[in-house]
Chains A and B, each alone.
Chain A
């Protein structure tokens, strides 16, 4: 190989087509209520994806948004997280990221 000069590239990338899946950021794989993956949808939805998002509570428990909404509406829930019994409130900083 005549060319030993490292600066002079022999092989050069012109274009790179990368494929990726997007996932919800969560420390868990599945919803604590319906036990379906976040990449699947809640039992009431027919299609996964943007229309069935994930929600995170301040207690760092994750659910499908629809699942936890349904739980909170239930009077017996007393608006507590179904996993740790702390008062439920959504993590707000997710909206900050959008900006």
Chain B
């Protein structure tokens, strides 16, 4: 090869090269070159690279390569004779100098670089070369940039032969004193040199680095930490708590050190390695300690542990289970103490207190991460749905609905809008943990209906607000009936204003027109009920008005839900009483006669005996009427001495008093509703899937109903059987666990 070169080169080249060599020898040692010398060499390089008369670019390239080789070899000999203690220091000095020098040279040889690049561009195989270079397979024919050429040379002639010694030196330094590594910058330089000598490759894979320096480093650290952890954990003079603190510090130091002085990829691998050795190897023992800490309520310490385990796979799962158990137990203790209380608010307040406390722990100590949140949510669910969470026979759903009513009904002590909102938000927070959301809805909608019909709601805005909260929690279909109830009230209000204009000032009638599907009111009414004569025209008037507003619709009066305000002028002090239409109708009779009998009323108003008895009883009970037993039966008279400390009052109706049987009714009808809901879900699923195995079907049904209630598996099975009877489904003949949908 030398001979071939000899024949090619001419005197011009020799002369120019000897000048250039002088310059680059100074530059690579960073010795300083005066401007003239630099400029001369620069133009020499330029001249040699010019294609006319003869291009010496290739020769120049080869000579340069040789120059680097010689230079690097010299450094290597120097390092070879260097004692281990000084090796790192020496290496880093040499590398920094070389690296800087090469950068200068790269600009000195920019003419050569651009020529090489141009040549590459016209090479038809360029795409191929790029691909090859990606895999590091490119042969000698390629022309590297001057700086890359130098770095490659450094890797091959220096790093590879010295690798073992260098690695050993780094590991020795790192372990020498973990806290106080003296040669940090040197280590950094070394790692950087390993990386830079490979980084110029198009997709620098750092193949050599990862398989040599990095691997040895990790191996050394692994052994080191394994030994240290073993010693610490078996040391009887320190507690597990101390160990945790120590591990926490170790990881932090390693992370900081790695971030500053090592390659990013190495830092991650190193931390993972340390986690494995310090934590994963002792996972069971550490988890035992976690349980201990939970029971001791030492959340401070637990928090350290929790953060440590966050990045460890499977690390948190066990701990969060225990956390959940602890939460549940604590909460159940609180609820258990309320056993004798008959006050709904006690349960609400205490649950909120538990919730706040857990939320505090979760955010403060566990930075609200998903595992700890889950533990909290599951335990709160358990608490609120436990049989112990029952006040005076009412379960959580009913308690909540009643409390909502207490807040939203006129006469609640809460005045400010903001406080109403806050209290409702609290209730919704509890509600989100409750299983029987359908039960809540049942009670809630009934209370809402009462508030709306009797105009006892504090404001439409608050009602709307609450519905929005429920909607955010359970979705549109959950609240849509509630929404429509409110809408009916708004429409009725408009209607009332229009009717008032038409009917004039003296109008006493106010009608609520409701959509039958949305209200939790039975359409039950005594169809035969004959209104008191003077009242009939009033309703007729409204009916006509309504027909003029909405065509094709008729009205069905629900007198048993209607109320009247009646003034009783016969008393010494005039009173106004709010009564149901039935009650008021009976009172109106006394305008014409002094006493009435049950039969009179039944005949006159065409009411069934049951209704009349109940209405009379309520009037007697409130002392407005007096009974007098006569031969022919009981007669009823007005109590002329009636007095009440309120000017306006309501007659308690006996109808809604029996809460226990009422609750049974609700639960019964809810069970019926759930069956229908489940059947619908089954049909929906089967219609979409055509065929489904038993287990798949069950789990999908559970999934669909979860937002409303936790379905009982045996009930689902019953529903499936029922649907098979109705021939919606059949069992597949070949596989007994498979159901098919019958279209």
Contact = CB atoms under 8 A, between A and B. Distances in A.
A9 B592 CA distance: 9
Given A25-B553, A49-B484, A19 B548 contact: no
A1 B588 contact: no
B509 A48 contact: no
A71 B521 CA distance: 34
A81 interface: no
B514 A19 contact: yes
Interface string B537-575: 011001000111011111111110111111111100000
Contacts of A48: 515-517
B208 to A, nearest CB: 67
Interface string B499-531: 000000000111111111111010100000000
A54 interface: yes
Contacts of A40: 517
Contacts of B555: 20-23
Contacts of B588: 11, 13
Contact of B512 (A1, A3, A12, A20): A20
Given A3-B570, A16-B508, A18-B510, A39 B591 contact: no
A49 B516 CA distance: 8
A14 interface: yes
A97 B546 CA distance: 11
Interface string A33-62: 000000110000011110001101000000
Interface in B451-466: 453-455
Interface residues of A, number: 33
A4 B550 CA distance: 45
A17 B564 CA distance: 6
Contact of B510 (A17, A24, A39): A17
Mostly helix, strand, loop or mixed at chain B's interface? mixed
Interface residues of B, number: 58
Nearest to A26: B552
A10 B584 CA distance: 12
A20 B535 contact: no
A84 interface: no
A1 B584 CA distance: 19
A21 B590 contact: no
Interface in B46-89: none
A53 B340 CA distance: 53
A15 interface: yes
Contacts of A1: 594, 638, 640
B591 A94 contact: no
B637 to A, nearest CB: 8
A23 B555 CA distance: 6
Contact of A13 (B552, B559, B565): B565
A95 interface: yes
A15 B520 CA distance: 25
A83 interface: no
Contact of A10 (B521, B535, B570): B570
B562 A11 contact: no
A81 to B, nearest CB: 18
Contacts of A12: 566-567, 569
Contacts of A6: 591-592
Nearest to B455: A17
B151 interface: no
A75 interface: no
B576 interface: yes
Given A6-B592, A49-B517, A13 B508 contact: yes
A15 B523 CA distance: 24
B556 A17 contact: no
B587 interface: yes
B515 A22 contact: yes
B551 A22 contact: no
Contacts of A24: 552-554
Interface of B: 453-455, 477, 480, 484, 508-519, 521, 523, 535, 538-539, 542, 546-548, 550-559, 561-570, 576, 581, 584, 587-588, 590-592, 594, 638, 640
Interface of A: 1, 3, 6, 9-25, 39-40, 46-49, 53-54, 56, 94-95, 97-98
10 contacts: A1-B638, A11-B568, A11-B587, A16-B510, A17-B562, A20-B555, A22-B554, A22-B555, A24-B552, A49-B515
The 5 A-B residue pairs whose C-beta atoms are closest, nearest first, are A97-B551, A10-B570, A15-B565, A21-B516, A19-B561
